[in-house]
Amino acid sequence: PVEARNLMAKDWNGKSDPFVVLECEGTQHKTVVMKKTLDPVWQQRFIFKVSDPHMAELYFECRDKDFLGSDLLGTYRMTLHSLVQGEPNDQWLHLQNAKHGDLHVIITPQFKNGGLNTPAPRTGTGSVGKLH
The pLDDT score that the predictor gives to residue 129 is 42
Tens-place pLDDT, residues 56-90:
999 999 999 998 999 999 999 999 888 888 899 99
> In 3D, which of 119, 113, 14 has the Cα closest to residue 56?
113
Q: Count CA within 13 A, CB hemisphere, residue 83.
A: 28
Band the pLDDT of 54: cuts 50, 70, 90: confident
